[in-house]
Amino acid sequence: MLFAGLTCSAATAAELPGAADFHRDIQPILETYCYDCHGDGKSKADVAFDQFDSDQSLLQSRGLWWKALKNVRAGIMPPAKEAHPTLTEQERLASWIKKDVFNIDPENPDPGRVTVRRLNRVEYRNTIRDLMGVDYDTTSEFPPDDSGNGFDNIGDVLTLSPMLLEKYVNAAQAIVAQAVPTVPKVVVERAIAGASFHKSDPATNSDSASGPLSLSYYEAASASNTFQIEHPGKYQLVLNLTAAEKYVDNQFDYNKCRLVFTVDGREVFTNDYNREGNKLFHYEVDEQWPSGEHTMSLQIRPLTPGEDQVRSLAIRLNLVTLRGPFDEKYEVPPKNYARYFPKPVPLQAAARRAYAHEILGEFAFKAFRRPVDPEMLGRLTALAEKNYSQPDQTFEAGVAQAMVAVLASPGFLFREEGVEPAPKGGGNPLIDEYALASRLSYFLWSSMPDDELFQQAAAGTLRRNLQPEVSRMLADARSSALAQNFAGQWLETRDIATVPIDARAVLSREAAPPAASAPAVSPATNAPTPQTSVTLADAGTTATPAATPPAQAGAVGSVPGRGGRGFRRGFGRRGPRVDLDDALRKDMQSEVEMYFSHIVHDDRNVVELVDSDYTFLNERLAKHYALTNLNITGADLRLVTLPTNCPRGGVLTMGSVLAVTSNPTRTSPVKRGLFILDNILGTPSPPPPPNIPPLEDSESAFSNHPPVLREVLELHRSQPICASCHDRLDPPGLALENFNAMGMWRDKERGQTIEVGGQLATGEKFANVQELKHILANQHRTDFYRCLAEKLLTYAVGRNLENYDVESVDRIVERMQKQDGHFSALLMGVIESAPFQKRRASSGLADATPSESGPHHMAAN
Amino acid sequence: MSKPDTLAAQRRTAFNRRNFLRGLGACIALPAFESLTPWKLLAADAVTAGRLAITATGAPLRTAFVFFPNGAIQPNFWPDGAGTDFKFNATLQPLAETQAHVRVLGELDHLCANPGADGGGDHARGNAVFLTGVRPKKSATDIHAGISIDQLMAKKVGHLTRFASLELTCDDTRKSAACDSNYSCAYQYNLSWSSENTPVTAEFNPRLAFERLFGAGPVGQRALNNQRRQLAQQSVLDFVMDDAKRMEQRLGSQDRDKLDQYLTGVREIEARIQKSEQFGPAPDPAMDTPPGVPSSQTEYVQIMYDLMVLAFQTDSTRIATFCLAHDGDNRSFSHIGIPEGHHDISHHQNNPDRIAKVAQIDLWYAQQFARFLKKMQDTKDVDGSSLLHNSMILYGGGNSDGNRHTHTNLPLVLAGDGGGTLGPAAYVKYGSKPCTNLFLSMADRMGIQGIERFGDSTGRLQSV
């Protein structure tokens, strides 16, 4: 329907009002500002605005107009030094493109079509947590989800392979087995933590009463625990222990030990252990006890006094479970019983069936997040009944089996969405209230709706109470998912946990360059050669292995203290002075998540994401950032106001962002520049052309010193084919060069003072990163608003944005401008937008209309 | 240096590889699987099934595809000499021990991975084209490639074994942000495609791959566990199938594709259960289950290779695909003294230092492959020859020169003897033929008939 005008081939110019508007309103603008390069016989980058075959083809060149709109709005075109259209002219161009090229009806914009979304592994895990009270480790059990547009919740891209379905079925089984009791009563169990055992040497006792107890293979030791028994009778002790080791590459540990377990002084169990690779062991000991006090004790006897002690071998007693007395009269309901079975199980068959029906109806409603088809509920009840009617099967086990079916079914794994009746005058229907509840909960919580949302949806009041419901949801702890999964993917900081960074190599670039006698180090953007490492390690030494055989290098890396003398010298056994270890990575991840959550919860202006005078720090991170005079102590991150003119503040200068945009051994100004274009300005650079010309011809330029990255990139930009994009990429990337690949401040690289000043392709000049942030936050504020709105809308609706979404995005941006950029303006703008609230009318025609625009994040030039 | 200094490493179990390999050694020593791969049944299959995936002696014939990322340093990769008179250069030197079973295939191309009108994205394409031979649709969300050769083979011969195919990968983490040049990440991480819009996800966790093949739990209990698991699966299949069909009727056409994927999965589980009845319980290798993803990259890759040996040895499948790392992979090789990211330095810009480092990485990959071939050679098959003899293993990448992103003269090695159907060890230059021609020639040897074209093929490859 929307595209009817275009598909009518008999249309003539007279019948194409869009073309008439073009010739009257748009062509003069293009003639004035664009034809110097894109008209009058010129067609730079294969673009000419006066070479259309017909008016029809003019109006159908949507990709071209899309790029034109993006580039003009972002100030990329015309180029900085040329005259730019006035705001009125820009607005005229934009509204013509939206109305006549994209055929957008501003009163009823096309909401697009979200392909039914499979839960990704984060959503699955959270949904299971909220539905079942079980933490199922989807990160180990399920394959990573494919992503599109940078997000892993895009319906089209979330495919379901047979292997994954098999995993879902097995997971359903495992989760239900863990969560749902299958018997009404069980023997009493008491968990006694390893840590609550008292060691014979009191100095080594831990203060904690939870967690494991660790006893080394290498030293004789014992530990004991005393407990009370109320009722005499049969009991069982279940030992759960790990034969632990600390992994050391290529070195083994041949020690052995013997474990002896005694109860009330009586030896009840003994076993010998080699190095077992962190294997778990379970032992059961049956006992008959009178009431009163009893003592169990664990002894370790080393068996190999002469062996090298390499891998810190230890017996780790995780837990002793004390079960008993084994007597029906002392049995209790199992954990979580009332959660699934709130009433006693009836005896009579019809009553049992009714009870199963009731339990499963409630359960399937929550699991499917919408009302259940009565016939399917009947089938579920029948499935339960079939199971519990078998001999030796409990009612609970039968119901549990039906719950497995629910968790394995598409109703749980996919997010099916219903719609309200279509509006009378035509147009696109609203999604129904249950679909709205799920859209909200998966958007803000990455999880299922809670009871309150379900109740609102059932009463049909959710849409009416949108604002208070959203506020309530943001106040809930589950909303941290928005920082983790939206910000974490938008800013790529979820990767900080795994991004490979080699601290030694990174730090070596900040050392003085090799002595003058050093040969020309590779001129390209290379990583340090062994020479630089040695120099850093021990400046002035000339012990330089000319060519290190890889085997030796490997040995250096893996076995500190063996071989590789030339390398080891400086860092020695200590390793580099700073390392991007797990603790620091976690701090960095927390910094960005807490920062984003602060913007959300305090409803700050989102532009503070780019530029602010605060961040979140703990002692370790403050030290890493060299902010040691702020008196920040302890491990908890907190809001810290930064000193005047501090280069930190805003996401661009956070360790996480700086590290994930680096290579393992050095910074990457190109990746950082790209990051700013992609994620702050929303004007991605096109990918590099095929057949990039090599730089080696010009390498001799650096025969006298190892180049710093700025020099290499300058050389790069001297090639016209590279310059067209790298003029945009490099300056903002280089502005961050004072931060190394671990996010630490540095003044010099390879002995040269780092210069960070530059000019954006849109013309603004900056002397340092503070000025760059200021420019991005002010002159490019609208670009940033639009970029963030596009990202958040993509994440919220889980689909690629198409050209018809321009209208919805523009409205969100207008709202942000009017409401001073507050996060709530962005969030409510997204939530109240047509793509979030509605669903394209599912006429056959609309369904069959292919995506018209191609990728939304189309290269901007 | 494999310092477990990342959270990923932390969650990987530090684990005793010796246990696993010791177990594997024991299991290789067993000709015991003869009893589990019924000779007579196979021979009967050979007649009724038109010799599908069967050697002339009636033993199973396997095909494997192993993918390495970021191309190879060309002068080091290609041998000296030609035909049967050739000598490995530095990179493939580790294959010397099994040289009699190795063909180096020169001048085979994947032109669909060239930029064409699609521009950048050579790594995404290098990956997506490698086994499909079709140009993937350039889109971040609308994924569209083609069926891959391994999956096509699996469709034809998969009924002969418990598993139609096995897909493994050593990519256990994903980067955030858009993938290569705004291609969907589905292209960059998946080699296998069961249809044009359904990538076949590979398993990254050795424990789960093992448990899927042989059952969970300790030795001796796996068959029972497997049986229990299948019973549990069986009991829910009717319900979920019905739910899927009903939902399918309520949804639009794009959504129906997703439900189709679901239903395909359900049917595969059903088929597996039927096969269990047909083949009896899965073999139970006398070895510990590998606990998870090892912290050392070397161990990770080796264990995945070991699982392939085990899967072939037990005739659990005849088709396997192993992605060592996706194209464009930027992991660091600190464990061989190269801290830089692989992708980063593969754009070596002809800098000799970088070239030397990339060549070391190429060599490391070849060493792991050589170790795998050696195991295949040392493992006896049911007909008395080696597993290697009764296999075809293609080892290669989707880029030739990682520096310049070229997709002609791809680095390819075809190992194994195809049960005696492959020609002698040689270095043959095929004169710019599509790689897909090779796929057709391999499919022929698997006994698969009726495939005239695959991807951009122009015919069969002469003299493989």
Nearest to B2 among A164, A275, A558 (CB): A558
Burial of A431 (0-12, 13-18, 19+ CB in 10 A): buried
Residue B284 has pLDDT above 50, yes or no: yes
Q: How far does Cα A503 stand from its chain's mean position? A: 24
More confident residue, A752 or A552: A752
Q: How confident is residue A514, by pLDDT bands cut at 50, 70 and 90?
A: low
Phi-psi region of A338 (alpha: psi -120 to 50; beta: other; left: phi over 0): alpha
Tell whether the model's pLDDT for residue B362 goes beyond 70: yes
Q: Does residue A528 surpass a pLDDT of 80? A: no
Per-residue CA distances from A587 to A61, A595, A769 (Å): 48, 12, 23
Residue B24 pLDDT greater than 70, yes or no? no
pLDDT level of residue A690 (50, 70, 90 thresholds):
low
Whether A381 and A360 have beta carbons less than 8 Å apart is answered as yes
Model pLDDT for residues A64-96, shown as the tens digit of each residue: 999 999 999 998 899 988 999 999 999 999 999
Above 80 in pLDDT, residue A192? yes
Average pLDDT over residues B62-82: 97
**Above 90 in pLDDT, residue B164?**
yes
Whether residue A13 has pLDDT greater than 70: no
Task: Tell me: pLDDT of B396 over 70.
Answer: yes
- Measured between CB atoms, which of B250, B334, B344 is closest to A557? B334
Q: Give the C-alpha separation, B458 to A590, whole Å.
A: 55
Minimal CA separation from A690 to chain B, in Å: 6
Highest mean pLDDT among A449-458, B49-58, B140-149, B230-239: A449-458
Q: Is the pLDDT of residue A694 over 60?
A: no
- Rounded percentage of chain B residues whose pLDDT exceeds 70: 89
Lowest mean pLDDT, pick from A371-375, A490-494, A855-859: A855-859
The mean predicted confidence, pLDDT, of chain A is: 86
CB contact under 8 A, A665 and B340: yes
Nearest to A502 among B180, B244, B332 (CB): B332
**pLDDT surpassing 60 at residue A210:** yes
Q: Do B269 and A113 touch (CB under 8 A)?
A: no
Give the best-scoring range by mean pLDDT among A720-724, A842-846, B129-133. Answer: B129-133
d(CA B68, CA A773): 41
- pLDDT score for A205: 60
Tell if the CB–CB gap between A376 and B266 is shorter than 8 Å. no
| pLDDT tens-digit map of A143-173 | 999 999 999 999 999 999 999 999 999 999 9
Measure the CA–CA gap between B177 and B185, rounded to whole angstroms. 9
Judge: B212–A163 Cβ closer than 8 Å, yes or no.
Answer: yes
Q: Do A586 and B7 touch (CB under 8 A)?
A: yes
* pLDDT of residue B265 exceeding 90: yes
User: What per-residue confidence (pLDDT) applies to A524?
Assistant: 39
Average pLDDT on A793-799 reads 97
Question: Is pLDDT above 70 for B5?
Answer: no
Q: E-assigned strands of A711-795?
A: 748-749, 752-753, 758-759, 765-766
Q: Closest CB to B235: pick one of A162, A401, A502.
A: A401
H or E, element range at A56: helix A55-60
Residue A477 is predicted with a pLDDT of 97
- Higher model confidence: residue B262 or residue B51? B262
Q: State residue A208's pLDDT score.
A: 63
Residues in chain A with CB shorter than 8 Å from the CB of B210 are: none
Contacts of A660 in chain B (CB under 8 A): 176
Nearest CA in chain A to B344: A663
In angstroms, rounded to a whole number, what is the distance separating the alpha carbons of residues A97 and A116?
Answer: 30
3-state secondary structure A637-653: CEEEECCCCCCCCCHHH
Residues of chain B with Cβ-Cβ distance to A502 below 8 Å are: 332, 334, 339-340
Region B394-409 average pLDDT:
95
Is the Cα dihedral A597, A600, A604, A607 positive or negative?
positive
Residue A15: the pLDDT is 67
Q: What percent of chain B has pLDDT over 90?
A: 75
Q: Calculate the alpha carbon distances from B218 to A18, A239, A444, B222, B279 in Å.
A: 72, 18, 42, 7, 22
Residue B50 has pLDDT above 60, yes or no: no
Least confident of A111-120, A225-234, A422-431: A422-431
- Per-residue HEC secondary structure of B360-420 comes to HHHHHHHHHHHHHHHHHHHCECCCCCECCCCEEEEEECCCCCCCCCCCCCCCEEEECCHHH
In this prediction the ipTM stands at 0.90
Per-residue pLDDT at A689: 66
Over residues A452-465, mean pLDDT: 98
Following DSSP, what letter does each residue of A136-204 receive, concatenated?
A: --HHHHSPPPP-BTTBS--TTT----HHHHHHHHHHHHHHHHHHS-SSS-B--EEEEEGGGSEESSGGG
Of A414, A686, A694, nearest to B350 by CB-CB distance is A694
Cα–Cα distance between B396 and B106 in angstroms, integer?
Answer: 11
Put simply, the answer to whether B338 touches A149 (Cβ < 8 Å) is no
The mean pLDDT value for A194-211 works out to 75
pLDDT at B18 over 80: no
**Per-residue pLDDT at A819 exceeds 80:** yes
Across the interface, whether the CB atoms of A143 and B204 are under 8 A apart is answered yes
pLDDT of residue A701: 59
pLDDT at A51: 87
Interface mutation vs chain B, best among A498, A531, A672, A849, most B CBs within 10 Å = A498
Q: What mean pLDDT is predicted for residues A199-215?
A: 74
- Distance from the Cα of A692 to chain B's closest Cα (Å) equals 7
Model pLDDT, residue B343: 93
**A:B CB pairs within 8 Å:** 350
* Contact state of B291 with A277 under an 8 Å Cβ cutoff: yes
Instruction: Note whether B212 contacts A246, CB cutoff 8 Å.
Output: no
* Cβ–Cβ < 8 Å for B351, A526: yes
Mean pLDDT, chain B, integer: 88
Q: B281: pLDDT confidence band, cut at 50, 70 and 90?
A: confident
Tell me the average pLDDT across A323-346.
94
Of B8, B204, B265, the CB nearest to A162: B265
pLDDT of residue A274: 92
Cβ atoms A545, A566 nearer than 8 A: yes
Instruction: Give the range with max mean pLDDT: A523-527, A715-719, B228-232.
Output: B228-232
pLDDT band of residue A603 (cuts 50, 70, 90) is very high
Mean pLDDT across A692-713 = 65
pLDDT at position A107 is: 87
Whole-model pTM above 0.80? yes
**Among chain A residues, CA nearest to B271:** A162
Distance CA A146, CA B324 (A): 18
The C-alpha of A225 sits at a distance from chain B's nearest C-alpha, in angstroms, of 30
Asked whether the beta carbons of residue A529 and residue B353 sit closer than 8 angstroms, the reply is: yes
What average pLDDT score do residues A178-195 get?
94
Q: Which one-letter DSSP state was computed for residue B83?
A: B
